[in-house]
Amino acid sequence: MNMVAEKKLTEKKINPTAMRLLVLDSLLKQHSAISLSDIEKSLETADRITIYRTLKTFEEKGLIHIIDDGTGSPKYALCAESCDANQHHDLHVHFYCAECKETFCLSNSKIPEVALPDNFTSTEMNLVVKGVCSKCKN
């Protein structure tokens, strides 16, 4: 059993079931954001609905965030430690590589503050930069 995954789940007050441990272990092994279908392929014995519900729980508890990279398929990545069930604190830029089709969290590149008119209220922000990643460029 992956002790790191179990610790992360208990820290976020998520019951560490076998499926949740498998899904989190799959996310921990990634170097880029991953789609539901990619997780499903890596966990051949799990059904799509169970994985989706697990990801939804992880997102609600501040363990992962969802990235809309414009591909039509949401991607999932681990959150910063400071995220919790009340609020995500990881407003960073995401990078989508047009070559390898991977989406990366650029945690050190923060989304700039956007001045909205007085009668507008922001509930979520997403900034995706598209181009070619360093791996594909070389």
Annotated binding site for Fe cation: 88, 90
> Could you give the CA distance from residue 16 to residue 23 in angstroms, rounded to a whole number?
11
Annotated binding site: 88, 90, 97, 100, 133, 136
pLDDT attached to residue 82: 74
> Could you give the CA distance from residue 67 to residue 76 in angstroms, rounded to a whole number?
6
Annotated binding site for Zn(2+): 97, 100, 133, 136
Residue 59 belongs to domain spanning = 3-137
The domain spanning residue 80 has which CATH number? Answer: 1.10.10.10
> Could you give the CA distance from residue 126 to residue 137 in angstroms, rounded to a whole number?
25
Of the ranges 2-11, 50-59, 102-111, the best mean pLDDT one = 50-59
pLDDT tens, position by position, 24-52:
999 999 999 999 999 999 888 888 999 99
Strand order, beta sheet including 103-110: 103-110, 92-97, 128-131
How many domains would you assign to the chain? 1
Q: Which two tokens stand for residue 83?
A: 């995220």
- What kind and span of H or E run contains 135? helix 134-137
pLDDT band at 1, cuts 50/70/90? low
pLDDT tens, position by position, 68-122:
999 999 999 998 777 777 777 678 999 999 999 999 999 889 888 889 999 999 8
